[in-house]
Structure 1
Amino acid sequence: MRGYERLKGKLALWPFGLHCTGTPILASADKLSRECKEFGCPPVFPHEASELSASMETVTPAQGKSKKSKAIAKTGGAKFQWQIMESLGMDNNEIAKFKDPEYWLKFFPALAVDDLRKLGVKVDWRRSFITTDANPYYDSFVRWQFLTLKKQGKIQYGKRYTIFSARDNQPCMDHERTVGEGVVPQEYTLIKLKVISEFPSKFSCVNQLKVPIFLVAATLRPETMFGQTNCWVHPDIDYVGVKSTQQSCILICTQRAAQNMAYQGILDPSHPGHIDIVANFKGADLLGLKVKAPLSSYESGVFVLPMMSIRSSKGTGIVTSVPSDSPDDWVALQDLIKKPAFRTKYNLLDSMVIPFEPIPIIETPGLGSLPAVTIVDQLKIQSQNDRDKLQEAKEKVYRVGFYDGIMLVEKYKGLKVNSVKKLIQDQLVETNEAIIYYEPENLVVTRGGDEAVVALCDQWYLDYGSEEWKTEVRKAVANLSATDEVRRGLYSTVDWLHEHACSRTYGLGTRLPWDDKWLIESLSDSTIYMAYYTIAHLLQGGSLDGRKPGPLKIWPEHMTPEVWDYIFLGIGNPEDLVETKSHTSLSVPILKRLRQEFLFWYPVDLRVSGKDLISNHLTYYLYNHIAIWPNEPNLWPRSIRANGHLLLNSNKMSKSTGNFLTLADAVEKYSADGVRLALADAGDSLDDANVKEEMAEAGLLRLYGLLDWFNMTLEILNDSTLQQKSDYRTGAYTMHADFVFENEMNNTIELADKAYASQEYREVLKIVFYELQAHRDRYREVCQGSVHTNLIRRYMNIQLLLLSPICSHVCEHIWINLLNNKTSIFCEKWPELSCPVDRILLLQGRYIDDTAHTFRLQLKQYQSSKSFKSSKSVGSHSVTQFIPPSDAVVWVAKAYPAWQAQILEIMAANLSDDGKTLADNATLAQLLRPHLKAMGKMAKRAMPFVQLVRERFVIHGKRVLQLQLEVDECEVIKKNLSYLISTLGLRQPDGLKINYSCDSNDSRIEESVCPLEPLILFCEPSTSASMTFLNPDIGSGLFTLNGVTIFDGDTYTDVVSRVVTHCRSLALRSKDLKNITLYRFTDPTCGHLRIPPYPMEALQIVQPTARFVVDASSSTITLKIGSDFIPIGKKLLYTTTVSS
């Protein structure tokens, strides 16, 4: 993008920083330290780990996809951190240094910069830096940012539920997770089901406890607790009884749920994370227990029953049963009621199951007061195994019941369900029959490898839930330049976003300036760092960690909060800051220079990031810019683009499968421009970009081809003799193809400008690399090699300028070393149009391309269907050989036939309001039905014509519905007559006639031909015979041509043109064949029998004035020169002296 903006005449800045904040580096360093402490240094790992390490070395791409976890896939299956480092090619001495986290900051950033330099990114590396307090300048900047936010009341302190790493003993933000990015805490209501019967005898110790015992069931719907008929557990799941000092009781649940409770003050508030287990149970041990269910109509108690679909990874492993409103509960209860053997298996008495009928608690529109029972019958659900139907039933009952259901129970009777949920939850909590409980809504795994929990933490947090702040952010999103997907993602995030924990105690980063036991987490110190880029080169002196001052000799201690205020906020004036030396010892000119640098570059015109950062980093980026510059929207971000993840060969990159390629290896393998080209082709949208190695290989070959073309063409352009031999033209443009090619180049400039500006790089590549070269090749073909030197030179400049932002190195090489320019290509301007783009001329050029292609296909069809063949005997066999036509007639239409015009009028009348969508075929068929009878035999062609117009509409838009023709087909064909005759192998110069279909006496022609669809009819061939053309040029890539047809009356030019056509069709054309010399043998019978090379005394040049005469009766060919007839036999020799 920077290369493009430079060409557009802008001062474009692309800085690049390296974010080191967070837990990953410190966690990895600590893992190395632990491994060395436990296994030695270098470590000797257990046998199974060694086997795993060895197996990593034998993984190849052919082994297919790995089924390992995401975390394992990232490390290639390594179990230990030391092994991960080994997989990067490091030796033991080097790995040992990484026990120090500071060494990571010195080692990897420099490598990253080196790899990016090899790719040729257009970065101002003077402004690069690393984050964390290892860089005192950036550390000072972040501390100032947080002081500013705190002054504004944007940062608060208090208890919050947050995703938490028990291992690191601190909150776990998105960037610190290997699984579960974007997952937030989910609130449940823990229903306390008091055990009112004794446990089995083997748990006598539990029976002897003098405190209440509760099974705790996590529910999202406390308003349905009035309908409890029993409680579910899974017979095979492990449960624990844990002591709760806060509740003065024993709680039974899964250990995973207990772990979450331990960090929420539910068990022992004075010892977060501590679990005191008093007993371990299997679910089967709990079956048959009688419990008191809060709010249930069965006041004497309900029983614990088995449900096989319960998961230990969700909730507490204990589930309340409300069969009136839960299809799952109703079906599971029916299984127990209908299957006595099932009850017997778990020693359940009939009295524990059969008497408990569903209780009507909610009137659900369309489903009644027992919606679960009703929908199970409607969907014919037979058992718990009908999982898809059960899911459908569950979603429908919840959706209708929660939003439209009416409560039937006393106290809440007549109220809507969604209005009483919170009231009933509060009631249960106030009566100590329930507890508020949180857990991650989905699995979260930290970078340290532990499963995260939800903890109730004292912490500093950014108040992103403030409605006042949200309102301003929504305004910024509305004014932002972004794709629809990005804008929707930002709006959605702002809607649900609440407080965000910005502090932690473990990791690398900057410490809170007012409470230095806390570190600022990685998503919070990276929101306005773009402002720091504007002055980083003046502060840091080119060092990533700021270990030495920059050109202004500014030291970190000079950068006080007052200085930052002046630079970025314009608060105060430099004279006052400097006068007393109380705020800084910097000079006034230096302060003004820093302020001017910031104002010159800011705001950020374009921020590009990954799609997974829309819901965090990119949203926080907007929040913080609005907070720091609340009254200066001119300094807010102007545009955001997001991209998908990077796939390699259509699969995720993974060391464990071998589908893995580092940037350095890619550049080494495919060159910098080969990689850049493949990346541009990989995709532009939020979909994952797919880099294909075959594309990189093909692109690299095309770049070499482009370089060869420049070398060859410049050799001709720089040598007037070669120009003449190659038939290159100068002076005024004389051919229709000249104007078409010039117009195509102008159109390419416009299209490329739009695509670059929209960051649609795949489209850019298509336009400036593939299509522009195709225009060049078509121009050369239509001109039959006789191109104009001015247009070729203009093409060279345009090709290099438009392609240079993507393939910078190749373009710069050609620009400097081949075209001999003195300054870089990026010092040039975006190419200007030589004249406005002529849309009619575009249509003419594409018309002649399409027409030539269609005519060639029709010639091929003619060849396969006709029986004009000459017979000759070879030994005892008769051989037939096709004789191609020498003449043809083209029929074009002046206007649409009446039946087609009527169809176009109907299609135009039913176009969408915006003019971008045609009516569908079913609608058009209905509209055409009344007119079919009047169309007669053309009626059967009505819908095929509709489809033809639809295909044109996709390319050309609504102008294809116009009855007034934009292209004079007859005129365009006349202007390109020589090309069409040549490409079809017809007789020069008048082998192709052009007529209007309305002048034909054949009604079939008039009815068949329509505008833009000319018809060509080939004439029966004239008298002809075939010849063989020998080529003596060794290593020229030109070979013997058999079966070249010679027509009676052919000129020298006709025959040469046919030889050229044969070479093209046989893919033998490796050089310019326009300047061919023909030779005949002085002995037409035996001369060709000599062993090449042929002596010149055996050859005679065929004079350009000669005509070829064919005797039909004997199939012999003679040359007519003046009044002389010279026999030439069946073989001629052709050669060319034009160099490659």
Structure 2
Amino acid sequence: ERKGTAKLDYLRKIELEIQEKWEKERAFENDAPSTVGETSNKNKYFVSFPYPYMNGRLHLGHTFSLSKCEFAVGFQSLKGKKCLFPFGLHCTGMPIKACADKLKREMELYGNPPLFPDEDEEEKEKPKAADEIIIKDKAKGKKSKAVAKSGSSTFQWDIMRSLGLNDNEIAKFAHADHWLEYFPPLAIKDLKQMGVKVDWRRSFITTDVNPFYDSFVRWQFLTLKDRKKIKFGKRYTIYSPKDGQPCMDHDRQTGEGVGPQEYTLIKMKVVEPYTAKFKSKVFYSSGMKGKNIFLVAATLRPETMFGQTNCWVRPDMKYIAFETANGDVFISTRRSARNMSFQGFTKENGVVPVIMEILGQDILGCALSAPLTCYKIIYALPMLTIKEDKGTGVVTSVPSDAPDDIAALRDIKKKQALREKYGIEDKMVLPFEPVPIIEIPGFGNLSAPLICDELKIQSQNDKDKLAEAKEKVYLKGFYEGIMLVEGYKGQKVQDAKKPIQRMMVEKGEALIYMEPEKQVMSRSADECVVALCDQWYLDYGDAEWKQQASAALKSLETFCEETRRNFEATLAWLQEHACSRTYGLGTRLPWDEQWLIESLSDSTIYMAYYTVAHLLQGGVLNGQGDSPLGIKPEQMTREVWDFIFFKSSPFPKTNIPKEHLQRLRREFEYWYPVDVRVSGKDLVPNHLTYYLYNHVAMWPKDSGKWPQAMSKSTGNFLTLSQAISKFSADGMRLALADAGDTMEDANFVETMADAGILRLYTWVEWVKEMIANQNNLRTGPVDTFNDRVFASEMNAGILKTEQHYERMMYKEALKSGFFEFQAAKDKYRELAIEGMHRDLVFQFIERQTLLLAPICPHLCEHTWSLLGKTGSLMKASWPMASPVDEVLIRSSQYLMETAHDLRLRLKAYMLPPKNKKGDSKAPAKPSHCTIYVAKSYPPWQHSALSLLGKHYKSNNGILPDNKVIANELGALPELKKYMKRVMPFVAMIKENLEKNGPRVLDLELEFDERAVLMENLVYLTNSLELEQIDVLFASEADDKVKEDCCPGKPFSVFRSEPGVAVSLLNPQPFNGLFSTKLDIRQGDSKDAIVRRLAKVNRLIKDLSRVKLMRYEDPVLGPRRVPILGQEEQGKLPISSKSVFNINLDEKKVTLADNGLTVDIGDTL
């Protein structure tokens, strides 16, 4: 938990100052050059983001996707590109209007402010149907974010209150236009607080409230209609049979926001031998004989039909047999038959020709021929939990993947009495086993039996456990499962669903069936159905159009293959999309004004409108202000739009000045196409695919206007303004960058955002400290080992980070451009014993500022000004990297690995030896260490490496199996006695080969190992708190060292040098440093003793201020009381050239200085 907000407040203060500066400088406003040539066109970068829906505040889900645009613009502008990031606000569609109408209705019924009745506490939640976990159709409009946050409240007024609005404010939202005035300015305010690099002049809201955008959408649709892309025909719609018309949200008593749910209707033919009951009660009844009779089951998972073992029927449920349009007989519930009758299943629309009513128990035991299953005949079996208000009352059974099905099948197999009760023979149940059809990571190919066993589910009555089992396997199976069946083997389940459904429908084994997602009651108290009604639709199934969209996809940069596969799968199944509605907000269909253009259809080429919006609307969101070019909306005719957007169109008949129209065209020609479009990955099957289709339809012969690149992401819920208040804009942005790349789901970690505040605060404080202390930093040649390493690591970091930014891998860019970049600086500070070089420190600050600027622009702009740079960081350039010395960097990595290895060996050395009595003492801390380095490998390792190197070269970088290698090495006589060690060595080399590449097979190191260690001897000695380290070649050591030492893996030997204890007294009063005992060792210098003293007494910081002296009289001197102000009386300074000698037997220390030897006694 946070202790305070001082650091957060500090960052927020900086952010607000920087945002004010950017606003004043108009830092993100860019226009096309006055002449558009080929060269200038290449130097622009246009990004766009799906405009968010304006029925609530923006949240982190938006912000995560949006941050990808934001980071891209930051990076590309540093690369010298002219960047454009416009931002529109979407208001088209039903949710705003439905919420407004709901408020209006609540005020009519309950007053203003309304007094709502108490909710019926006794109303129990309805149990879920077996198929209740539904794969979401992402193409459907989202509910209001207000609804998402409101919990279970059923009243819109309460939902608005939950957003912090008072009753007076809420009443205004009963007018749909108020939503358009209220939320868009809040979105802009929140985004400005985030510091987005948006050109706000180009912002606009949609719908016919904005006359310019309305004109643009009408032009688009007239063009699409002329090009035969829009057709008129039957489409599925929620419909009230009683009212005889579609039932839109505002016409509903219950079920607002509910749309049609698509099922696949599986036809299971009743075949002989018929059961006695079915024969007498059904088959011989009037109108059934000689007809094809089908039990029809509605499933959401047609791809699982390969695993059917039976079907389920509820014994006590009433079913009907009714005649279909082609004379076949379907058996289902009356409710589902009513739906089917409005979808072309029966001869007369809306009329169900009922042949007879049947009880479920009369169908039990029927032999069925079902599509796709490996069982030739399956049977209708009893299930008591089937619901009448979902599906058809007939349920397919796939026990391999459905926990309910395996539980019920096991029940009826185990319970003979249950079988006898319903007349089910053993042959109808016992031979049927689950069929493996889908492989699910973590659950294998029989997920339902596995999860039921794991959760110890005993029967179909274990409701809670079955719900948990479905939760675990159902969605994971759909999104991560891989098909195992012939024809679809290896395909993802979600990709195979549509093709399998289409194949069954084409073969006549299944039909498409729709019913409302939940119950919808019209205001006339009629239960609504799904009906096929006439509507305008975009014909995305048109073969030529589909082929053009596929061609556009081929040239599209998708940043990851999964995205491309998702696009390809969508193109394969996509057919028509209804583009018209009768209710909501939006633009009227120009040739049939009773219809509104729906929200996914008016948002496919609006990126083209961004290029001219600022010149038409002048930054006024609803387009009702004065145009900067003096153009009126009514002047924007089809011919004018054609001239702006179609290069070959002639100049129109208009009173708009030619130079103005040419300027509009120039803006479009310069900025288009969009270079990168970033969106949530759930928009691939709808918006992003429609975006491709509409671009190729509008610019069929100008592929230069087609989309260039798309990037996807997802996010979670926390409003943008909350996130900024909690973490600061840059702290939030840092966490957003760290939240995930490519198709990963966003993982916004709050602790990361909190840590981001601390990291950024610490960084800016360190910069200020370096600026204040710059005169104390080292100057002169930049040539030490660690200077050169640090310079090379910075260059490597720049190149690496640039690559990550180019690939839109922002998590990786943050890692290499901030975390690793900072780590390189910290390592330099630790290793540079002689002090950090001023030039490198300030080079680092400047480069770090530029590398982090796309992600944390406020703090970086502030740092830029601290460095005294003129001009805004927003106009700066990406840093240039000098050549990288990879060998030098690897030699530094070797140094760090060796230091780490030495620490581990030292720790092991200090452990007490194992003793059965347990009374062993830890050894004394060593004072010295000898590091042995090898110029070459021992002969046995040399032979093994030579063989591996030979195979690697001859097999194109692939090594054979260990068995082959072991046989070949075993045949070498010189390796016979080493075979136990050879294969572990080979395994280590193979592992290192994967990590570090072929250089691990080199027989010699690429750098001088001893020289690296010698250059860093002071660091190693200090970090290990040793007196001295010697670096020798292994060739000078005994055989054991030679055997254990190889290039890159030094061998170390620790030891404690003996010494004679001497007291060191400090005669100065009042400084807190008193006396201490210290060992003097043979050959010690004055400096060695001072260093040793500093290790014992941590209060000594500056070794240059320590004066070491000896007594003139080594016997009486230490006994005399020092005189204040004359502390050095009777003492002589010890020179740096003096050498101490010891006699261990006599415990005596002498000092050799300038040819003289003197006894120092036992005190210094």
CA contact (8 A) 2:298 2:391 kept: no
Alpha-carbon shift at residue 888 of structure 1 (Å): 2.3
Alpha-carbon shift at residue 640 of structure 1 (Å): 1.0
2:767 to 701, 710, 731: 710
Provide the residue aligned with 2:701 in structure 1: 631
2:856 to 785, 800, 807: 807
TM-score, with structure 1 as normaliser: 0.74
Provide the residue aligned with 1:993 in structure 2: 1030
2:1088 to 1014, 1036, 1054: 1054
Q: Matched residues in 2 for 1:1031 and 1:751: separation?
A: 57
CA contact (8 A) 1:189 1:220 kept: no
Q: Matched residues in 2 for 1:256 and 1:263: separation?
A: 12
Q: How does 1:614-629 map to 2 (within 5 A)?
A: 614-629=684-699
Q: Matched residues in 2 for 1:333 and 1:851: separation?
A: 63
2:933 to 888, 892, 899: 892
Q: Matched residues in 1 for 2:335 and 2:970: separation?
A: 72
Alpha-carbon shift at residue 322 of structure 1 (Å): 14
Residue type at the aligned position of 1:849: M
Q: How does 1:59-78 map to 2 (within 5 A)?
A: 74-78=149-153
Alpha-carbon shift at residue 287 of structure 1 (Å): 6.2
Q: Matched residues in 1 for 2:701 and 2:1044: separation?
A: 69
Check if 1:852 corresponds to 2:899: yes
| SS of the residue 1:945 aligns to | helix
Residue type at the aligned position of 1:963: L
Could you list the runs of 5+ residues in structure 1 that have no partner in the other structure?
A: 53-68, 296-301, 365-374, 405-416, 427-434, 578-582, 647-652, 654-660, 868-877, 1132-1140
Distance 1:35 1:662, change over 3 A: same
Provide the residue aligned with 2:232 in structure 1: 157
1:1012 to 1045, 1048, 1052: 1048
Residue type at the aligned position of 1:254: T
| SS of the residue 1:683 aligns to | coil
Provide the residue aligned with 2:582 in structure 1: 505
CA contact (8 A) 1:1117 1:1127 kept: yes
The percent of aligned pairs where both chains have the same amino acid is 41
Provide the residue aligned with 1:553 in structure 2: 630
Residue type at the aligned position of 2:1030: K
CA contact (8 A) 2:931 2:1051 kept: yes
Alpha-carbon shift at residue 962 of structure 1 (Å): 2.6
1:11 to 82, 93, 105: 82
2:874 to 816, 826, 835: 826
Provide the residue aligned with 1:1138 in structure 2: none
Provide the residue aligned with 1:217 in structure 2: 295
Provide the residue aligned with 2:50 in structure 1: none
Q: Matched residues in 1 for 2:995 and 2:334: separation?
A: 63
Q: Matched residues in 2 for 1:182 and 1:1080: separation?
A: 95
Alpha-carbon shift at residue 613 of structure 1 (Å): 1.0
Residues 792-826 of structure 1, C-alpha deviations (whole Å, 9 max, x = no match): 1111111111111111111111111x212221112
1:257 to 336, 349, 352: 336
Residue type at the aligned position of 1:457: C
Provide the residue aligned with 1:699 in structure 2: 756
CA contact (8 A) 1:159 1:458 kept: yes
| SS of the residue 1:690 aligns to | coil
Q: How does 1:855-874 map to 2 (within 5 A)?
A: 855-864=902-911
Distance 1:354 1:190, change over 3 A: closer
Q: Matched residues in 2 for 1:479 and 1:77: separation?
A: 46
Provide the residue aligned with 1:102 in structure 2: 177
CA contact (8 A) 2:924 2:1056 kept: no
Which has the bigger relative contact order, CA under 8 A and spacing at least 6? 2
2:795 to 726, 746, 765: 746
Alpha-carbon shift at residue 186 of structure 1 (Å): 3.2
1:958 to 970, 975, 998: 998
Check if 1:186 corresponds to 2:252: no
CA contact (8 A) 2:293 2:331 kept: yes
Residue type at the aligned position of 2:1022: S
CA contact (8 A) 1:287 1:306 kept: no
Alpha-carbon shift at residue 304 of structure 1 (Å): 8.5
| SS of the residue 1:474 aligns to | helix
Q: Matched residues in 2 for 1:31 and 1:705: separation?
A: 51
CA contact (8 A) 1:213 1:252 kept: no
Q: How does 1:760-839 map to 2 (within 5 A)?
A: 760-816=809-865, 818-833=866-881, 835-839=882-886
Q: Matched residues in 2 for 1:797 and 1:85: separation?
A: 48
Provide the residue aligned with 2:35 in structure 1: none
CA contact (8 A) 1:217 1:317 kept: no
Distance 1:108 1:1025, change over 3 A: farther
Q: Matched residues in 1 for 2:768 and 2:562: separation?
A: 45
Moved more, 887-896 or 592-601: 887-896
| SS of the residue 1:130 aligns to | coil
Distance 1:437 1:1032, change over 3 A: farther
Q: Matched residues in 2 for 1:304 and 1:791: separation?
A: 80
Moved more, 805-814 or 591-600: 805-814
| SS of the residue 2:747 aligns to | strand
Provide the residue aligned with 1:60 in structure 2: none
Provide the residue aligned with 2:970 in structure 1: 930
2:712 to 614, 621, 642: 642
Provide the residue aligned with 1:656 in structure 2: none
Check if 1:147 corresponds to 2:219: no
CA contact (8 A) 1:162 1:185 kept: no
Distance 1:248 1:788, change over 3 A: closer
Distance 1:1077 1:318, change over 3 A: same
Residue type at the aligned position of 2:879: P
| SS of the residue 1:703 aligns to | helix
Residue type at the aligned position of 1:13: L
| SS of the residue 2:594 aligns to | strand
Tell me the number of residue pairs that the alignment of Structure 1 and Structure 2 aligns.
Answer: 988
Superposition RMSD in Å: 5.9
| SS of the residue 2:91 aligns to | coil
Moved more, 588-597 or 755-764: 755-764
Alpha-carbon shift at residue 568 of structure 1 (Å): 0.9
Q: Matched residues in 2 for 1:512 and 1:836: separation?
A: 60
Residues 529-584 of structure 1, C-alpha deviations (whole Å, 9 max, x = no match): 1111111111111122212133222221121111111111124333xx2xxxxx43
CA contact (8 A) 1:603 1:636 kept: yes
Residue type at the aligned position of 2:801: A
Alpha-carbon shift at residue 220 of structure 1 (Å): 8.5
Residues 401-451 of structure 1, C-alpha deviations (whole Å, 9 max, x = no match): 9999xxxxxxxxxxxx9999779749xxxxxxxx955137x9689999999
Residue type at the aligned position of 2:760: L
Residues 254-297 of structure 1, C-alpha deviations (whole Å, 9 max, x = no match): 365245325425579666xx99999999746x6689999999xx
Check if 1:677 corresponds to 2:734: yes
Residue type at the aligned position of 1:840: V
Q: Matched residues in 2 for 1:792 and 1:993: separation?
A: 32
| SS of the residue 1:121 aligns to | coil
Provide the residue aligned with 1:736 in structure 2: 785
2:654 to 571, 584, 588: 584
Provide the residue aligned with 1:479 in structure 2: 555
Distance 1:567 1:1055, change over 3 A: farther
Moved more, 516-525 or 251-260: 251-260
Q: Matched residues in 2 for 1:287 and 1:1013: separation?
A: 78
Q: How does 1:423-442 map to 2 (within 5 A)?
A: 425=508, 438-439=513-514
Alpha-carbon shift at residue 950 of structure 1 (Å): 3.9
Q: Matched residues in 1 for 2:598 and 2:1067: separation?
A: 76
Q: Matched residues in 1 for 2:404 and 2:731: separation?
A: 57
Distance 1:255 1:1130, change over 3 A: farther
Q: Matched residues in 2 for 1:599 and 1:316: separation?
A: 55
Q: How does 1:161-176 map to 2 (within 5 A)?
A: 161=236, 169=247
Provide the residue aligned with 2:532 in structure 1: 456
Q: Matched residues in 2 for 1:80 and 1:161: separation?
A: 28
Could you list the runs of 5+ residues in structure 2 that have no partner in the other structure?
A: 1-71, 124-142, 372-377, 436-445, 490-499
Distance 1:266 1:471, change over 3 A: closer
CA contact (8 A) 1:888 1:1018 kept: yes
Q: Matched residues in 2 for 1:93 and 1:964: separation?
A: 82
| SS of the residue 1:459 aligns to | strand
Provide the residue aligned with 1:32 in structure 2: 103
Moved more, 1106-1115 or 535-544: 1106-1115
